[in-house]
Amino acid sequence: MIPKISNSFITQADAQTFSDYITKYKDTERFDTHVGLAHKEGEAARAVFPERTRPSDHIEIKEVVDKYANLFIEQLTKDYDHPNPLHFYGISITRLTAGGTTKNP
């Protein structure tokens, strides 16, 4: 199976909704925030549910999460021939913030 890329899968407005949500809650137990390897060791804020947090912790963004879960299944169904029904299990919401231009020794 060859992976496919869906350009413009998420709208700018919905991306901003996720970014605003991360800004609001990144310093809470909903998110794991750490120095990331990408973007020259910038900050990585990530929520993974249901593995690391309860979906009910993220009820504020349920509508947009459900929207993209459904779109994801629709896209997979359209792009790939799979013998069984597909189900959406979990989600990872991640934002990477650029770090400095030099690395510490």
Tens digits of per-residue pLDDT, 48-94? 999 999 999 999 999 999 999 999 898 888 888 878 888 888 899 98
pLDDT at 100: 60
Token duo for residue 35? 């120095």
Q: What number of residues does the chain have? A: 105
In a domain, 104, yes or no: no
In a domain, 54, yes or no: yes
Please tell me the distance from the alpha carbon of residue 56 to that of residue 49, in angstroms, as a whole number.
Answer: 9
14 vs 86, residue with greater confidence: 14
Taking 60 as the threshold, does the pLDDT of residue 97 lie above it? Answer: yes
pLDDT at 66: 93
pLDDT at 77: 86
pLDDT at 58: 95
Number of domains within the chain: 1
In a domain, 64, yes or no: yes
Task: Find out whether 39 and 98 touch, Cβ atoms under 8 Å.
Answer: yes
In a domain, 4, yes or no: no
In a domain, 36, yes or no: yes
In a domain, 103, yes or no: no
In a domain, 2, yes or no: no
What pLDDT digit, counting tens, does each position of 27-61 carry?
999 999 888 776 667 888 999 999 999 999 999 99
Show the domain range for 39: 12-96
pTM of the predicted protein model? 0.79
In a domain, 21, yes or no: yes
Taking 60 as the threshold, does the pLDDT of residue 96 lie above it? Answer: yes
